[in-house]
Structure 1
Amino acid sequence: MSQLVPAQASGRPSYQWELTPTGSTAQFRGLAAVSKDVAWVGGSAGTVLRTVDGGKSWQNVSPAGPETVQFRDVEAFDAQRAVVLSIGNGEDSRVYRTVDGGKSWTETFRNTDPNAFYDCFDFYDNKRGLALSDPVDGKFRILATADGGKSWKVQPTAGMPAALPGEFAFAASGTCLVAGPGRTAWFATGGGDRPRVFRTVDGGKHWTVADSPMASGEAAGIFSLAFRGSLFGVAVGGDFLKPTEAVKAASVTYDGGRSWKLVPADKAPKGYRSGSAFVPNSPATVIAVGPSGSDVSYDGGRSWKQFYDGSFDSVECAGHGVNAGCWASGAKGAVARLTR
């Protein structure tokens, strides 16, 4: 991977990715940042890795048994407790949980509906979480836990708006659904005649939906959401069949997802982007990643500047103060830590 001149503006930090040696060739779309020192990744061939020393070393802590599944999302609470989601139709969609740093895993959910396909999940705290499935019988399906992923329950769909023809979510980076303050959460879609963002304020029981001005189509839509608080959010995506083209690839909201404003092409990321995250300790700095590069926005997503031209699928940030850290992951075992 090559590196561009780090993005920098007057009085603003410059950023770059520091690659860490994982010793793996898996594609890591699942990523959980805990701090600058602790992170987990999940990927192809049932692979899960963990670092507790800032990426100097990675331990293979993959669950025994599911070597053929694709882990597309990881949510970690600390160095010992994590939950991973595998994707696919029917029984390929599963959840595994560890409380001992990956020494042992328990399968806590296996989808038995052949029409369901779980894409991503997120947690409000170390107990409450939601997982998202593509539409079943014309509506997106929500799975919920209230005990840290030990048990899961499919939620009623009476409060879920109907899906559009061809509409689905993208299992690209584990950020197609994000949990916010209180009981607020959002998920994003594509595939239909327009992308949309769904919003709940009661923990997933009832949802409202807003159209987005971003691109949509068979391979296009919103791939990732990032929110700072309950009102301020960013959506990134585009068309994954056109990775180097910024096809209506970003939008912003200031009202909690009720409405979205398209980022003009000359200020948008330089290509399709699959992951996004707000940088800790900075109220308006956002990172977006994709196969053709990484971009930074210092103004909450209104304008972007590319600072890296290597490929990543996912980005996550976590922690506070000196313990905060951002991580990225992608193909061929690539995992990196953000430095400045």
Structure 2
Amino acid sequence: MNIINQLAFLLLFQLQLGIEHALKFSHPSPIQDSQRTQKSDKPTGANIVFKSIDGGKTWQDIGKSLPKNIQGANDGIDSYVYKAEDCANSNGLFLRAGKSIFHHERNAATTFWKKEIFPNQMSNIATGKNGLIAYNYSGQIVQKTNESNVWLPVYTSFKGTIRTVFEAGQGSIFIGSENGLFKSANGGKTWKQVHIGGWVLKLVEQNGVLIATSQSGIIRSTDDGEHWTVVISEGGVGIDVAPIKGGFAAITYNTASETRRVRTSYDGGKTWQAIDAGLPPNPSISSIVQVGENLFCGHPDGIYKSTDKGKTWKRILCSMDGKVFNLSVSGNVLYAILKNGGC
């Protein structure tokens, strides 16, 4: 009888442990793991691209159908050319890796990506008014119009290195170069330099105001890019800029103190206020965007969210393997793309 009682006790104890174990891990994770619903018998690009449609409350891993080596593919030509780059517009997210572009539609309910061949020797992508733009540092630019699947050369009259390409609302075209910023007002037939002071990496526009990251800091123009003034310098360089409701957000890097600052402006970029007091200091803060009323910041510790215009921040997604999330927005959809490091 004692043996039977002991066996019964052990069975009850094991059953209790099993129930506790199940309860412990039954709470939903902020990341909805696509591996739970899809077969995983093939190499995948999981844990690279995440998507949130509820303001960062939950995240879906949408990279499972991407190539496993999408971040580090290299076929012996140039490792930089095969580093994953991304951009987003109203149609969703575009991810460039190797000789392919992968497109994830904003409203897609699955992890499906549309793949198309990427032009040879192109290293970057940008969204244009008439279609996707691809370019490389050496000065070559091609564009695939929205109505066509053919990449055609554009802006061939520009001679120089290329860091970024931007098509403004009034029709002007800007190319950020290693040597400054160039503008064309006639569809790329002729170009003139409108800013001198080192490289220019990114431009954004809102309500007739242009804001750009440059080697001298954050620069601003109110006359369609004819003249530019430095609005944030602080001995550093511009890392990222983004349009937000009623203004702009920017990240700068101070080369002397090796620190990055996050700021916002609500007067068209004239004055800027620091909003990073609640963020852990780090020299690799990479990006800032807005979805709805909330700000999101890509940080080496993970993704941080602010619901009060940057007064306070809360980490909503932890980092992975010490890498930084680059953030992109398409409508109310927030994308987080894992990078190998900061900007």
Structure 2 length as normaliser, TM-score? 0.65
Deviation, structure 1 residue 131: 3.0
TM-aligned CA deviation for residue 14 of structure 1: 4.7
* Structure 1 CA distance for aligned equivalents of residues 311 and 170 of structure 2: 32
Partners of 2:99 and 2:299 in 1: CA distance: 22
- Partners of 1:206 and 1:307 lie apart in 2 by 40
Once the two structures are superposed, what CA deviation does each residue of 1:241-268 show, in whole Å capped at 9, x if it has no partner? xxxx992331222322223233455446
Which position in structure 2 is the counterpart of 1:86?
135
In structure 1, the residue matched to 2:181 is 141
Task: State the secondary structure of the residue aligned to 2:308.
Answer: coil
Report what 1:39 is aligned to: 93
Change in 2 beyond 3 A, CA 1:316/1:199: same
Is the CA contact (8 Å cut-off) linking 2:244 and 2:289 kept in structure 1?
no
How many equivalent residue pairs? Answer: 271
Report the equivalent of 1:328.
Answer: 336
Q: Cα deviation per residue 1:139-176 (whole Å; 9 max; x = unaligned)?
A: x2224477xxxx4255423x53x42xxx4344xxxxx2
SS, match of residue 56 in structure 1: coil
Distance in structure 2 (CA, Å) of the matches to 1:249 and 1:97: 35
Identity value in percent: 14
Query: 1:337 maps to which residue?
Result: none
Q: How far has the Cα of 1:315 moved from its partner? A: 2.2
Q: Confirm or deny that 1:61 pairs with 2:116.
A: yes
Segment of structure 1 superposing worse, 308-317 or 123-132 = 123-132
Match of 1:196 among 217, 222, 242: 217
1:131 aligns with 2:175: yes
* Structure 1 position 110, deviation (Å): 4.5
Return 5+ residue gaps in structure 2 as ranges: 1-28, 32-53, 72-82
Between 1 and 2, higher relative CO (CA 8 Å, sep ≥ 6) is seen in 1
Pick closer, same or farther for the CA change 1:155–1:100 going to 2, 3 Å: closer
Measured in 1, the distance between the counterparts of 2:141 and 2:58 equals 33
Cα distance in 2, alignment partners of residues 30 and 75 from structure 1: 10
User: What amino acid is the match of 1:39?
Assistant: L
Q: How far apart are residue 186 of structure 1 and its match?
A: 0.9
- The CA deviation at 1:18 is 2.0
Larger Rg: 2
Structure richer in helix, relative to its length: 2
Q: How far apart, CA to CA, are the structure 2 residues paired with 1:180 and 1:276?
A: 16
Give unmatched runs, 5+ long, in structure 1. 7-11, 171-175, 333-340
CA drift at 1:19: 2.0
Correspondence 1:1-340 to 2 at 5 A: 14-21=56-63, 22-24=65-67, 25-26=70-71, 27-35=83-91, 38-43=92-97, 45-52=98-105, 54=108, 56-64=111-119, 66=120, 68-71=121-124, 73-75=125-127, 82-88=131-137, 92-100=138-146, 103-110=149-156, 113=159, 116-125=160-169, 129-135=173-179, 140-144=180-184, 151-153=187-189, 155-157=191-193, 159-160=194-195, 162-163=196-197, 167-170=198-201, 176-182=202-208, 184-190=209-215, 195-213=216-234, 216=236, 221-228=237-244, 232-238=247-253, 247-267=259-279, 272-279=284-291, 282-283=292-293, 285-290=294-299, 292-308=301-317, 309-310=319-320, 311-312=323-324, 314-319=326-331, 324-331=332-339
Q: 1:278 Cα deviation (Å)?
A: 1.6
